[in-house]
Structure 1
Amino acid sequence: MTEPGFLLSTRASYDAVAAAYAGRFHDELAAKPVERAMLGAFAELVPSAEPVADIGCGTGHVTARLRDLGLSAFGIDLSSQMVALARRQHPGLRFDEGSMTALDLPDRTLGGILAMYSIIHIPREHLPQVFAEFHRVLVPGGRALLVFQVGDAHERRTEAFGQSISLDCYWRSLEHVAESLGRAGFAEDARLLREPDEHEKLQRGFLLVRRPADVV
Protein backbone atom coordinates (compact mmCIF):
# COMPACT_ATOMS: atom_id res chain seq x y z
CA MET A 1 0.00 0.00 0.00
CA THR A 2 1.32 3.45 -0.94
CA GLU A 3 1.89 5.70 2.05
CA PRO A 4 0.26 9.14 2.16
CA GLY A 5 2.61 11.95 1.19
CA PHE A 6 2.51 13.56 4.61
CA LEU A 7 4.01 10.42 6.18
CA LEU A 8 6.81 10.31 3.63
CA SER A 9 7.74 13.96 4.12
CA THR A 10 7.49 13.75 7.92
CA ARG A 11 9.75 10.68 8.02
CA ALA A 12 12.31 12.24 5.67
CA SER A 13 12.34 15.50 7.64
CA TYR A 14 12.98 13.83 10.99
CA ASP A 15 15.54 11.47 9.49
CA ALA A 16 17.44 14.54 8.27
CA VAL A 17 17.55 16.30 11.66
CA ALA A 18 17.66 13.34 14.06
CA ALA A 19 21.17 13.86 15.43
CA ALA A 20 20.73 17.61 15.97
CA TYR A 21 17.27 17.06 17.45
CA ALA A 22 18.70 14.61 19.98
CA GLY A 23 21.28 17.14 21.11
CA ARG A 24 18.73 19.93 21.44
CA PHE A 25 15.91 18.13 23.24
CA HIS A 26 17.52 15.32 25.26
CA ASP A 27 16.97 17.12 28.59
CA GLU A 28 14.04 19.39 27.74
CA LEU A 29 11.82 18.04 30.55
CA ALA A 30 14.22 19.45 33.15
CA ALA A 31 12.87 22.95 32.41
CA LYS A 32 9.20 21.95 31.98
CA PRO A 33 7.51 21.34 35.35
CA VAL A 34 3.98 21.33 33.88
CA GLU A 35 4.90 18.57 31.43
CA ARG A 36 6.51 16.57 34.22
CA ALA A 37 3.41 16.98 36.39
CA MET A 38 1.08 15.82 33.62
CA LEU A 39 3.29 12.82 32.90
CA GLY A 40 3.17 11.97 36.59
CA ALA A 41 -0.64 12.15 36.67
CA PHE A 42 -0.81 10.01 33.52
CA ALA A 43 1.50 7.42 35.09
CA GLU A 44 -0.68 7.17 38.19
CA LEU A 45 -3.85 6.60 36.15
CA VAL A 46 -2.55 4.01 33.69
CA PRO A 47 -3.55 0.44 34.59
CA SER A 48 -0.37 -0.79 36.26
CA ALA A 49 -0.03 -4.18 34.56
CA GLU A 50 -0.34 -2.94 30.99
CA PRO A 51 2.36 -1.60 28.64
CA VAL A 52 2.44 2.04 27.54
CA ALA A 53 3.37 3.30 24.06
CA ASP A 54 5.11 6.64 23.56
CA ILE A 55 3.93 7.34 20.01
CA GLY A 56 6.13 9.75 18.13
CA CYS A 57 8.85 9.08 20.69
CA GLY A 58 11.72 10.71 18.80
CA THR A 59 15.02 9.83 20.45
CA GLY A 60 13.33 8.33 23.50
CA HIS A 61 13.97 10.79 26.33
CA VAL A 62 10.29 10.92 27.30
CA THR A 63 9.97 7.14 26.96
CA ALA A 64 12.78 6.89 29.50
CA ARG A 65 10.92 9.30 31.78
CA LEU A 66 7.85 7.06 31.64
CA ARG A 67 10.04 4.10 32.58
CA ASP A 68 11.42 6.07 35.52
CA LEU A 69 7.82 6.73 36.62
CA GLY A 70 7.30 2.98 36.91
CA LEU A 71 5.60 2.26 33.59
CA SER A 72 6.37 -0.57 31.19
CA ALA A 73 7.02 1.91 28.39
CA PHE A 74 8.22 1.50 24.82
CA GLY A 75 8.53 3.94 21.93
CA ILE A 76 7.19 4.09 18.39
CA ASP A 77 8.40 6.56 15.78
CA LEU A 78 8.02 7.04 12.06
CA SER A 79 11.69 7.98 11.58
CA SER A 80 14.22 5.15 11.35
CA GLN A 81 17.01 7.55 12.31
CA MET A 82 15.16 8.66 15.45
CA VAL A 83 14.54 5.03 16.40
CA ALA A 84 18.21 4.15 15.84
CA LEU A 85 19.33 7.00 18.11
CA ALA A 86 16.75 6.06 20.75
CA ARG A 87 18.02 2.47 20.81
CA ARG A 88 21.61 3.65 21.23
CA GLN A 89 20.83 6.20 23.93
CA HIS A 90 18.42 3.95 25.88
CA PRO A 91 19.58 0.37 25.28
CA GLY A 92 17.33 -1.05 28.00
CA LEU A 93 14.14 0.16 26.30
CA ARG A 94 12.23 -1.07 23.26
CA PHE A 95 11.76 1.21 20.23
CA ASP A 96 9.88 0.30 17.06
CA GLU A 97 9.39 1.98 13.71
CA GLY A 98 5.74 2.63 12.96
CA SER A 99 2.98 5.06 12.13
CA MET A 100 0.16 6.18 14.41
CA THR A 101 -2.17 5.92 11.42
CA ALA A 102 -1.83 2.10 11.46
CA LEU A 103 -0.34 0.77 14.68
CA ASP A 104 1.20 -2.69 14.46
CA LEU A 105 -0.38 -3.72 17.75
CA PRO A 106 -3.22 -6.09 18.64
CA ASP A 107 -6.55 -4.78 19.92
CA ARG A 108 -6.81 -3.95 23.63
CA THR A 109 -3.17 -4.46 24.54
CA LEU A 110 -2.03 -1.09 25.91
CA GLY A 111 -2.72 0.50 29.25
CA GLY A 112 -1.64 3.90 28.02
CA ILE A 113 -0.65 6.02 25.03
CA LEU A 114 1.44 9.17 25.13
CA ALA A 115 1.38 11.38 22.02
CA MET A 116 3.61 14.32 22.94
CA TYR A 117 3.89 16.86 20.11
CA SER A 118 3.30 14.14 17.53
CA ILE A 119 -0.30 14.65 16.36
CA ILE A 120 0.80 18.09 15.10
CA HIS A 121 1.96 16.47 11.86
CA ILE A 122 -1.37 14.77 11.13
CA PRO A 123 -3.68 16.56 8.68
CA ARG A 124 -7.22 17.21 9.90
CA GLU A 125 -8.80 14.59 7.66
CA HIS A 126 -6.55 11.85 9.08
CA LEU A 127 -7.13 12.59 12.79
CA PRO A 128 -10.23 10.34 13.05
CA GLN A 129 -8.16 7.40 11.74
CA VAL A 130 -5.41 8.09 14.30
CA PHE A 131 -7.79 8.40 17.23
CA ALA A 132 -9.64 5.26 16.15
CA GLU A 133 -6.28 3.44 16.27
CA PHE A 134 -5.58 4.81 19.76
CA HIS A 135 -9.00 3.59 20.92
CA ARG A 136 -8.53 0.18 19.29
CA VAL A 137 -5.24 -0.68 21.00
CA LEU A 138 -6.12 0.57 24.50
CA VAL A 139 -7.68 -1.70 27.09
CA PRO A 140 -10.96 -0.50 28.62
CA GLY A 141 -9.91 1.97 31.29
CA GLY A 142 -6.66 2.72 29.45
CA ARG A 143 -5.47 6.32 29.26
CA ALA A 144 -4.12 8.55 26.51
CA LEU A 145 -2.27 11.82 27.10
CA LEU A 146 -1.96 14.16 24.13
CA VAL A 147 0.25 17.26 24.19
CA PHE A 148 0.32 19.75 21.32
CA GLN A 149 0.77 23.37 20.34
CA VAL A 150 -2.50 25.31 20.44
CA GLY A 151 -3.61 27.55 17.61
CA ASP A 152 -5.55 27.67 14.36
CA ALA A 153 -3.01 27.53 11.56
CA HIS A 154 -1.04 25.35 9.19
CA GLU A 155 2.70 25.95 8.93
CA ARG A 156 5.14 24.32 6.51
CA ARG A 157 8.70 24.27 7.77
CA THR A 158 11.42 24.14 5.13
CA GLU A 159 14.52 24.37 7.36
CA ALA A 160 15.56 23.06 10.77
CA PHE A 161 18.99 22.69 12.38
CA GLY A 162 20.57 23.86 9.13
CA GLN A 163 18.88 21.09 7.10
CA SER A 164 16.36 21.47 4.30
CA ILE A 165 13.10 19.75 5.22
CA SER A 166 9.44 19.72 4.22
CA LEU A 167 7.44 19.35 7.42
CA ASP A 168 3.79 20.31 7.83
CA CYS A 169 2.63 21.37 11.30
CA TYR A 170 -1.00 21.83 12.31
CA TRP A 171 -1.89 23.92 15.37
CA ARG A 172 -5.29 23.10 16.88
CA SER A 173 -7.55 24.18 19.72
CA LEU A 174 -8.16 22.07 22.81
CA GLU A 175 -11.84 22.03 21.91
CA HIS A 176 -11.26 20.64 18.43
CA VAL A 177 -8.98 17.83 19.61
CA ALA A 178 -11.29 17.00 22.52
CA GLU A 179 -14.28 16.78 20.20
CA SER A 180 -12.39 14.52 17.80
CA LEU A 181 -11.37 12.23 20.66
CA GLY A 182 -14.94 12.15 21.89
CA ARG A 183 -16.18 11.05 18.47
CA ALA A 184 -13.61 8.24 18.58
CA GLY A 185 -15.16 6.95 21.82
CA PHE A 186 -12.94 8.56 24.46
CA ALA A 187 -14.07 10.17 27.72
CA GLU A 188 -12.18 13.19 28.98
CA ASP A 189 -10.45 13.15 32.37
CA ALA A 190 -8.65 16.51 32.31
CA ARG A 191 -7.47 19.34 30.11
CA LEU A 192 -4.86 22.01 30.66
CA LEU A 193 -3.69 25.06 28.73
CA ARG A 194 -0.16 26.26 29.42
CA GLU A 195 1.11 29.67 28.38
CA PRO A 196 4.29 29.73 26.26
CA ASP A 197 7.61 30.13 28.02
CA GLU A 198 10.34 32.50 26.86
CA HIS A 199 11.48 30.07 24.15
CA GLU A 200 8.01 29.38 22.73
CA LYS A 201 5.48 31.28 20.63
CA LEU A 202 2.37 29.15 21.09
CA GLN A 203 0.33 27.92 24.05
CA ARG A 204 0.57 24.23 24.91
CA GLY A 205 -2.50 22.03 25.30
CA PHE A 206 -2.80 18.85 27.35
CA LEU A 207 -5.69 16.40 27.08
CA LEU A 208 -5.93 13.33 29.31
CA VAL A 209 -8.60 10.90 28.13
CA ARG A 210 -9.61 7.29 28.72
CA ARG A 211 -11.24 4.45 26.87
CA PRO A 212 -14.36 3.84 29.00
CA ALA A 213 -14.85 0.49 30.66
CA ASP A 214 -17.08 -1.94 28.80
CA VAL A 215 -20.74 -1.84 29.80
CA VAL A 216 -21.99 -5.29 30.78
Structure 2
Amino acid sequence: MFTPGEFDRWAENYDSEVERGQGLPFEGYAGVLERVFQRAGVRPGLSVLDLGCGTGNLTARFVQAGCRVWGSDFSAEMLKIARRKVPGARFFQHQLGNPLPADVPQHYARMVSAYVFHHFDQAGKIALLTHLRNHLEPGGWIVIGDIAFPNAEARQQAKQAAADAWDEEPYWLVEDDLPALRAAGFQAAFEPVSFCAGVFLIQPEMA
Protein backbone atom coordinates (compact mmCIF):
# COMPACT_ATOMS: atom_id res chain seq x y z
CA MET A 1 0.00 0.00 0.00
CA PHE A 2 1.33 3.41 -0.95
CA THR A 3 1.64 6.21 1.60
CA PRO A 4 0.67 9.89 1.29
CA GLY A 5 4.36 10.79 1.28
CA GLU A 6 5.02 8.69 -1.81
CA PHE A 7 2.18 10.39 -3.66
CA ASP A 8 3.36 13.80 -2.43
CA ARG A 9 6.72 13.11 -4.09
CA TRP A 10 4.99 11.89 -7.28
CA ALA A 11 2.66 14.87 -7.58
CA GLU A 12 4.76 17.14 -9.80
CA ASN A 13 5.43 14.38 -12.35
CA TYR A 14 2.09 12.58 -12.15
CA ASP A 15 0.33 14.27 -15.05
CA SER A 16 3.23 13.89 -17.47
CA GLU A 17 3.46 10.16 -16.66
CA VAL A 18 -0.22 9.30 -16.95
CA GLU A 19 -0.83 11.39 -20.05
CA ARG A 20 1.63 9.29 -22.05
CA GLY A 21 -0.85 6.44 -21.59
CA GLN A 22 1.46 3.73 -22.85
CA GLY A 23 2.04 0.30 -21.30
CA LEU A 24 1.40 -0.67 -17.71
CA PRO A 25 -0.24 0.74 -15.73
CA PHE A 26 -1.65 3.66 -17.71
CA GLU A 27 -2.38 2.21 -21.15
CA GLY A 28 -5.64 3.86 -22.23
CA TYR A 29 -5.65 6.36 -19.34
CA ALA A 30 -7.54 9.12 -21.18
CA GLY A 31 -10.08 6.61 -22.49
CA VAL A 32 -10.69 5.26 -19.01
CA LEU A 33 -11.38 8.72 -17.60
CA GLU A 34 -13.68 9.58 -20.48
CA ARG A 35 -15.63 6.36 -20.05
CA VAL A 36 -16.01 6.94 -16.32
CA PHE A 37 -17.46 10.33 -17.14
CA GLN A 38 -19.84 8.88 -19.74
CA ARG A 39 -21.05 6.05 -17.50
CA ALA A 40 -21.79 8.49 -14.70
CA GLY A 41 -24.69 9.88 -16.73
CA VAL A 42 -24.10 13.44 -15.63
CA ARG A 43 -26.31 16.48 -15.85
CA PRO A 44 -25.80 20.03 -14.61
CA GLY A 45 -26.17 20.35 -10.85
CA LEU A 46 -25.52 16.66 -10.11
CA SER A 47 -23.56 16.10 -6.90
CA VAL A 48 -20.36 14.12 -7.51
CA LEU A 49 -17.60 12.89 -5.19
CA ASP A 50 -14.29 12.01 -6.85
CA LEU A 51 -12.51 9.52 -4.58
CA GLY A 52 -8.72 9.68 -4.70
CA CYS A 53 -8.89 12.59 -7.12
CA GLY A 54 -5.13 13.10 -7.40
CA THR A 55 -4.35 16.15 -9.53
CA GLY A 56 -7.96 16.57 -10.61
CA ASN A 57 -7.92 15.09 -14.13
CA LEU A 58 -11.22 13.25 -13.67
CA THR A 59 -12.68 15.96 -11.43
CA ALA A 60 -12.28 18.53 -14.20
CA ARG A 61 -14.59 16.67 -16.56
CA PHE A 62 -17.48 16.84 -14.09
CA VAL A 63 -16.88 20.50 -13.26
CA GLN A 64 -16.91 21.35 -16.98
CA ALA A 65 -20.26 19.55 -17.26
CA GLY A 66 -21.79 21.81 -14.61
CA CYS A 67 -21.83 19.29 -11.76
CA ARG A 68 -21.31 20.18 -8.11
CA VAL A 69 -18.06 18.35 -7.45
CA TRP A 70 -16.05 17.44 -4.38
CA GLY A 71 -12.66 15.75 -4.67
CA SER A 72 -10.88 13.84 -1.92
CA ASP A 73 -7.29 12.62 -1.74
CA PHE A 74 -4.83 11.67 0.99
CA SER A 75 -1.94 13.54 -0.64
CA ALA A 76 -1.61 17.21 0.23
CA GLU A 77 0.68 17.84 -2.74
CA MET A 78 -1.73 16.22 -5.21
CA LEU A 79 -4.49 18.41 -3.81
CA LYS A 80 -2.41 21.56 -4.23
CA ILE A 81 -2.15 20.85 -7.94
CA ALA A 82 -5.83 19.88 -8.20
CA ARG A 83 -6.94 23.14 -6.59
CA ARG A 84 -4.81 25.10 -9.04
CA LYS A 85 -6.05 23.17 -12.08
CA VAL A 86 -9.73 22.86 -11.15
CA PRO A 87 -10.80 25.91 -9.12
CA GLY A 88 -14.46 25.06 -9.66
CA ALA A 89 -14.31 21.95 -7.46
CA ARG A 90 -14.17 21.66 -3.67
CA PHE A 91 -11.25 19.55 -2.48
CA PHE A 92 -10.50 18.02 0.89
CA GLN A 93 -7.81 15.77 2.32
CA HIS A 94 -9.18 12.39 3.33
CA GLN A 95 -8.10 8.78 3.74
CA LEU A 96 -10.44 6.35 1.99
CA GLY A 97 -12.28 4.19 4.50
CA ASN A 98 -12.37 6.88 7.18
CA PRO A 99 -15.60 8.76 7.92
CA LEU A 100 -16.23 11.71 5.65
CA PRO A 101 -15.41 15.05 7.29
CA ALA A 102 -18.42 16.69 8.89
CA ASP A 103 -18.00 19.85 6.82
CA VAL A 104 -18.61 18.19 3.43
CA PRO A 105 -21.89 16.75 2.10
CA GLN A 106 -22.60 13.26 3.37
CA HIS A 107 -24.56 12.03 0.32
CA TYR A 108 -23.85 12.17 -3.42
CA ALA A 109 -25.69 11.21 -6.59
CA ARG A 110 -22.48 9.80 -8.06
CA MET A 111 -19.19 8.62 -6.69
CA VAL A 112 -16.36 8.21 -9.17
CA SER A 113 -12.76 7.12 -8.93
CA ALA A 114 -9.80 6.49 -11.21
CA TYR A 115 -6.74 4.34 -10.53
CA VAL A 116 -7.25 4.07 -6.77
CA PHE A 117 -9.09 0.90 -5.78
CA HIS A 118 -6.39 -1.44 -7.09
CA HIS A 119 -4.37 -0.62 -3.97
CA PHE A 120 -6.92 -2.59 -1.90
CA ASP A 121 -7.30 -6.37 -1.90
CA GLN A 122 -10.69 -7.85 -2.70
CA ALA A 123 -11.88 -7.80 0.91
CA GLY A 124 -10.72 -4.19 1.19
CA LYS A 125 -12.50 -3.19 -2.01
CA ILE A 126 -15.76 -4.75 -0.81
CA ALA A 127 -15.46 -3.21 2.65
CA LEU A 128 -14.79 0.22 1.19
CA LEU A 129 -17.69 0.03 -1.25
CA THR A 130 -20.00 -1.22 1.49
CA HIS A 131 -19.04 1.83 3.53
CA LEU A 132 -19.43 4.22 0.60
CA ARG A 133 -22.90 3.06 -0.42
CA ASN A 134 -24.18 4.63 2.81
CA HIS A 135 -23.21 7.97 1.28
CA LEU A 136 -25.07 7.53 -2.00
CA GLU A 137 -28.30 9.35 -2.67
CA PRO A 138 -31.25 7.07 -3.50
CA GLY A 139 -30.79 5.80 -7.05
CA GLY A 140 -27.14 6.84 -7.11
CA TRP A 141 -24.23 4.74 -8.29
CA ILE A 142 -20.46 4.39 -8.30
CA VAL A 143 -18.20 4.37 -11.36
CA ILE A 144 -14.61 3.17 -11.01
CA GLY A 145 -11.92 3.28 -13.68
CA ASP A 146 -8.93 1.19 -12.73
CA ILE A 147 -6.25 -1.33 -13.57
CA ALA A 148 -8.05 -4.62 -14.14
CA PHE A 149 -7.55 -7.93 -15.89
CA PRO A 150 -10.24 -10.37 -17.04
CA ASN A 151 -8.65 -13.29 -15.20
CA ALA A 152 -5.51 -14.54 -13.50
CA GLU A 153 -4.02 -15.78 -16.77
CA ALA A 154 -4.25 -12.32 -18.35
CA ARG A 155 -2.72 -10.79 -15.24
CA GLN A 156 0.19 -13.24 -15.38
CA GLN A 157 0.79 -12.50 -19.05
CA ALA A 158 0.89 -8.77 -18.32
CA LYS A 159 3.26 -9.36 -15.43
CA GLN A 160 5.66 -11.34 -17.61
CA ALA A 161 5.57 -8.71 -20.35
CA ALA A 162 6.15 -5.87 -17.88
CA ALA A 163 9.12 -7.60 -16.22
CA ASP A 164 10.85 -5.14 -13.88
CA ALA A 165 8.19 -2.48 -14.51
CA TRP A 166 5.53 -4.58 -12.75
CA ASP A 167 4.21 -3.37 -9.39
CA GLU A 168 2.83 -6.15 -7.21
CA GLU A 169 -0.61 -4.76 -6.41
CA PRO A 170 -3.98 -6.48 -5.83
CA TYR A 171 -5.25 -5.50 -9.27
CA TRP A 172 -8.86 -6.25 -10.12
CA LEU A 173 -9.55 -9.71 -11.53
CA VAL A 174 -12.91 -9.35 -13.22
CA GLU A 175 -13.86 -13.03 -13.14
CA ASP A 176 -13.39 -13.06 -9.35
CA ASP A 177 -14.38 -9.56 -8.34
CA LEU A 178 -17.71 -9.23 -10.16
CA PRO A 179 -19.20 -12.27 -8.36
CA ALA A 180 -17.82 -10.94 -5.06
CA LEU A 181 -19.46 -7.57 -5.63
CA ARG A 182 -22.78 -9.20 -6.47
CA ALA A 183 -22.57 -11.42 -3.38
CA ALA A 184 -22.03 -8.28 -1.31
CA GLY A 185 -25.30 -6.77 -2.53
CA PHE A 186 -24.24 -4.74 -5.56
CA GLN A 187 -25.28 -4.73 -9.18
CA ALA A 188 -21.95 -4.71 -10.99
CA ALA A 189 -20.70 -4.67 -14.57
CA PHE A 190 -17.31 -4.18 -16.19
CA GLU A 191 -16.28 -2.66 -19.51
CA PRO A 192 -12.67 -3.09 -20.72
CA VAL A 193 -10.93 -0.06 -22.20
CA SER A 194 -7.38 -1.34 -22.67
CA PHE A 195 -5.53 -4.61 -22.05
CA CYS A 196 -4.90 -3.56 -18.45
CA ALA A 197 -7.75 -1.23 -17.51
CA GLY A 198 -11.47 -0.70 -17.67
CA VAL A 199 -14.53 0.69 -15.95
CA PHE A 200 -16.75 -0.80 -13.25
CA LEU A 201 -20.34 0.35 -12.87
CA ILE A 202 -21.53 -0.45 -9.34
CA GLN A 203 -24.93 0.17 -7.79
CA PRO A 204 -26.47 -1.08 -4.53
CA GLU A 205 -29.15 -3.72 -4.98
CA MET A 206 -32.58 -2.29 -4.32
CA ALA A 207 -34.11 -3.52 -1.05
Q: Which residue of structure 1 lines up, in the alignment, with residue 118 of structure 2?
A: 120
The one-letter amino acid of 1:116's match is: A
Q: CA deviation at 1:49?
A: 5.3
SS in 2 for 1:150: strand
Q: Which of 78, 100, 104 in structure 1 is aligned with 2:100? A: 104
TM-score (norm 2): 0.75
Q: Which of 24, 49, 64 in structure 1 is aligned with 2:17? A: 24
User: Cα–Cα, structure 1 residues 63 and 39, in superposed 2: closer, same or farther, change >3 Å?
Assistant: same
SS in 2 for 1:170: coil
Q: Which residue of structure 2 lines up, in the alignment, with residue 193 of structure 1?
A: 192
Q: Which residue of structure 2 lines up, in the alignment, with residue 139 of structure 1?
A: 137
The one-letter amino acid of 1:140's match is: P
The one-letter amino acid of 1:187's match is: Q
Partner Cα separation in structure 2 for residue 124 and residue 211 of structure 1: 17
Root-mean-square deviation (CA), in Å?
3.2
Partner Cα separation in structure 1 for residue 20 and residue 70 of structure 2: 18
Map residues 70-81 of structure 1 onto 2, 5 A cutoff: 70-81=66-77
Gaps of 5+ in 2: 22-27
Q: Which residue of structure 1 lines up, in the alignment, with residue 24 of structure 2?
A: none
The one-letter amino acid of 1:17's match is: W
SS in 2 for 1:209: strand
Q: Which residue of structure 2 lines up, in the alignment, with residue 36 of structure 1?
A: 34
Q: Any conservation in 2 of the 1:55–1:114 contact (CA below 8 Å)?
A: yes
The total of aligned residue pairs comes to 189
Partner Cα separation in structure 2 for residue 80 and residue 103 of structure 1: 18
The one-letter amino acid of 1:87's match is: R
Q: Which moved more, 1:59-68 or 1:19-28?
A: 19-28
SS in 2 for 1:21: helix
Q: CA deviation at 1:129?
A: 2.0
Q: CA deviation at 1:125?
A: 3.5
Q: CA deviation at 1:71?
A: 2.0
Partner Cα separation in structure 2 for residue 10 and residue 18 of structure 1: 13
Gaps of 5+ in 1: 1-5, 161-166, 197-202
Q: CA deviation at 1:92?
A: 2.4
Q: Which moved more, 1:17-26 or 1:140-149?
A: 17-26
Partner Cα separation in structure 2 for residue 184 and residue 103 of structure 1: 20
